[in-house]
Structures are given as C-alpha cells and as structure tokens.
Amino acid sequence: MKFLEYEVYALSPLGRDSFQGYLRNDGRKIIIKKQADFTDIKVIEQLTYIEMQGIPHVLGITHYQEEEWLIFTWLEGKALNTQKRTPENIIQIIEKVLTLINKLFFLTDYHWFFLDLKMQHILIDENENILLIDFEHVYLSKKTSVKWQNIPSIGLNTAYCSPEIRENELSAKHHEYALALIALNIVQEQNTQALNKHKLHKALKQFPVDWQIKLKNALDGKGLVKRLENVDIDTKKDLDHDVSFKEKEIKVSKGQELFEDKDNIKSKDKLAKTEPFLFQHKIYLDNEKILNVQIDLTIESIVHD
C-alpha cells in the first residue's frame, strides 16, 4: 500500500515499540507503531479505510530512527482497569465492545479475531464511549474460525487464552473468553494470574444470574453469546427509480446475542421472546455499489405448524 508521509515531532515512548507525538503540519496528537509488529497486513489496510468512533485510523507513515512507522489517530480515554466498576456497568461495557467488533465485521465483511485482547486494550472516554486500541495481534478472515498455528508472530498471552488454544482453530469464542475474564478481573480488582477458582466463583456471584451463566459459558470455551446460523436468500426485485437487486443477503450477525426468556417457553415448538438482535442486509445496486442496511429485531414468538 502507498501511504501519505508526514513529519512528526515531540515523540515520547508509549508502551512496547510505540511512541506518542504530534503531526508537524497541524499539531494533531498521534501514535506511531511499527508496521512489522502487525500480525495481519489486512488489518492495516482496513484501518486505513475505516474512520469510525472507537477505532484507530491509519493516517500515513513517518520515518523515525531510520525506520518506517505507521501513524495512527490518537484515541483519548482511560484504560478499563483504572477505576472500580459495578457489575452492571461492566456488562454494558462488554456489550459495547461486542457491538463495536460486530460493526467492524459489518463494514468490512471480515471476521475480526482479537487474539490477544486485554483490559489495557479497552479504553473508555469521558462520554463512556468504548475505544479499542493495539491492533497488532488482530487477524482478519472471511471464515468464522482461523488456524492459529499458521499465523506468524501471533504473540498470544496464555493468561487470556480460551480452551480453544488446545485445538487447531480459534473463533470469536477466543476473545469472548478474554472479555469474560476481564469482567471478573475488574469486579474483583485482581490480576488475571491471581484469579483462582475461589475468586472466580466469588466474582461470578456478583453478576445477575443470566450473566453468571454467560460468563461461565465463556470461560468454558462455549462463547459469551448464542448465535443463529446465517440465512441466505437469493432474489431479484425492482426498486424505485429503476434500482434492482442483484442479490439480497439476509444475515443474523455472528456477533449479536439471542437472549432466551425461559419463563416464556411453553413448548419445544416455540422460540421465546428475545431482546433485540441484528439482521444485516446487503443490497447490491446496478452501479456496483453496495448498500448496507441494519435492522434491529425482537422475536415475540415463533410457532411451527
């Protein structure tokens, strides 16, 4: 890829092989990182195109210490673990993180695998917006799972590895395990390594019953959310102004949650009322552009004849 080149100044170290500083041309605060530290070049490509709340954007490159560095926008926020939070607030944060990851899938049509997700990689700004940083160990794939042993420089932290690490492939359950562990760490104010079985049980009890089950499932490698299989419908229709469908894909997002209310289940032939979940539509227009549509749905009931 070709990047715009900028001059930067007032650089100071920030973590491992990162520096914060400012753009010479407009004084914006930025962060620079080595391109070689990124597991997947596709991540850099996508972050060059994407400009959205909560995700770093690649502005260009600079040369520093006789090396080429990527320039990212600065995201202002405090790390998730810097203040005490209630279980209710932690639940909201987890849901926002999953929503943000799902938006990345919706925008790019890639599944984003956060292979080394830590609480230090999740920031919260003054408006309680979620910010994700440090994309060096993120991997993109069209598939819903990846063979992690084939990924170079994966840099996995075993403390945050789900039971999937014992297998050949990693799925979204991997970073959902990390999110569950992060949630329990924060409520107990413990480091991951200090969170033994007794403390895990104690931390779980502080959450509502439904979330105790979800968090426990995530820790067992079963994932934090339940998923519906993709439903694909091929159709051709005419729209107003002579715009036609080439194909319409209706998808239930892999990253959205289906909450079952067991009190409302009266038979095996009915699906209980759910919380809103997301249908995604891709409309392929005649001018080869793609119109992305999102619809939040709530199922009241489904009865099979």
* pLDDT of res. 15: 78
Measured between alpha carbons, how far is 1 from 231 in angstroms, rounded to an integer? 35
How far the first Cα of the chain sits from its last, in Å, is 55
What structural domains does the chain harbor?
A: 8-73 (3.30.200.20), 78-219 (1.10.510.10), 231-303 (no CATH)
pLDDT tens per residue across span 248-303: 332 333 333 333 333 333 333 333 444 444 555 556 555 555 666 656 555 555 44
Measured between alpha carbons, how far is 182 from 33 in angstroms, rounded to an integer? 25
Structure tokens at 1: 């890829």
Q: Is 201 helix (H, G, I), strand (E, B) or coil?
A: helix
Residues in the chain where the model's pLDDT stays below 50? 228-277, 302-303, 305
* pLDDT of res. 271: 38
Under 8 Å between Cβ of 172 and 210: no
Q: How far does CA 238 lie from the centroid of its chain?
A: 35
Structure tokens at 88: 């209710």
Q: Which residues contact 26 (CB under 8 A, 6 or more apart)?
A: none
* pLDDT of res. 193: 56
pLDDT tens per residue across span 208-229: 999 999 999 998 888 887 653 3
